[in-house]
């Protein structure tokens, strides 16, 4: 007869009792493919911060980026079978995040255009007033830059963000965008020219502050 004081058996999270490999190993990705939630939790914890930073750079607002980051991992979980392994999982996740950001831009383009222009004009007015401390001036400059980026085409905006805000090399940016490195350089240069022209038109003469 079993003792009444015997410890209850702990049911493991993983039914096969096999230990998970390190988060960046191939085994944990394969476990995630099979729907292992513990594996997905490891991948989420490993990559969330980088994906969030990427989305913050793309959309310019942390609260929006946080929502898009959740959407990114939900989509990644649903489409993990499409991950071929030819690139790193990190690169693949950033590609998913980029597509999520593109969908966000398309769905909000018309609805937010008027609001974006109003915010841009108000921020420029406050910056020119010259009555703000340095921290608030920097925040306004960031807001103005992202409102100007909203005016660019998607392809130019992506190239500008990856090259001048995230600081990626042309090769790495090209891998994320699925285009040639030369095309990234051309797009980024063209985007920077348009951004600087727009900033000068708005009275922001100090274009050295542009990333």
**Percent of the chain whose pLDDT exceeds 70:** 70
Q: In whole angstroms, what is the distance from residue 152 CA to residue 173 CA?
A: 18
Instruction: Indicate the class that CATH gives domain 22-112.
Output: mainly alpha
pLDDT band at 27 (very low <50, low <70, confident <90, very high): confident
- CA nearest to 191, candidates 145, 139, 127, 124: 145
Per-residue model confidence (pLDDT) at position 110: 57
Alpha helices in 130-179 (DSSP H): 134-149, 154-160, 170-177
pTM of the model: 0.69
Q: Does the pLDDT of residue 192 top 60, yes or no?
A: yes
The mean per-residue pLDDT over the stretch 150-178 comes to: 92
The tens digit of pLDDT for each residue in 36-88 reads: 889 899 999 999 999 999 999 998 889 999 999 999 999 999 998 888 888 88
Contact 187, 141 (CB under 8 A): no
Q: Does the pLDDT of residue 182 top 50, yes or no?
A: yes
């Amino acid at each position: 007869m079993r003792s009444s004081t015997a410890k209850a058996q702990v049911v493991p999270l993983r039914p096969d009792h096999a230990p998970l490999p390190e988060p960046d190993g191939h085994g944990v990705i394969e476990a995630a493919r099979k729907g292992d939630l513990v594996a997905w939790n490891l991948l989420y914890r490993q990559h969330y911060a980088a994906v969030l930073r990427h989305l913050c750079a793309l959309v310019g607002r942390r609260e929006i980026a946080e929502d898009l980051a959740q959407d990114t991992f939900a989509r990644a979980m649903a489409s993990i079978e499409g991950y071929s392994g030819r690139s790193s999982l990190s690169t693949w996740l950033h590609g998913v995040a980029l597509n999520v950001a593109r969908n966000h831009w398309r769905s909000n383009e018309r609805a937010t255009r008027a609001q974006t222009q109003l915010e841009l004009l108000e921020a420029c007015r406050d910056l020119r007033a010259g009555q703000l401390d340095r921290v608030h001036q920097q925040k306004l400059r960031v807001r103005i830059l992202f409102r100007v980026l909203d005016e660019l085409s998607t392809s130019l905006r992506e190239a500008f963000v990856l090259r001048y805000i995230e600081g990626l090399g042309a090769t790495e940016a090209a891998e994320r965008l699925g285009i040639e490195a030369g095309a990234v350089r051309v797009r980024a240069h063209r985007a920077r020219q348009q951004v600087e022209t727009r900033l000068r038109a708005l009275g922001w003469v100090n274009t050295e502050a542009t990333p």
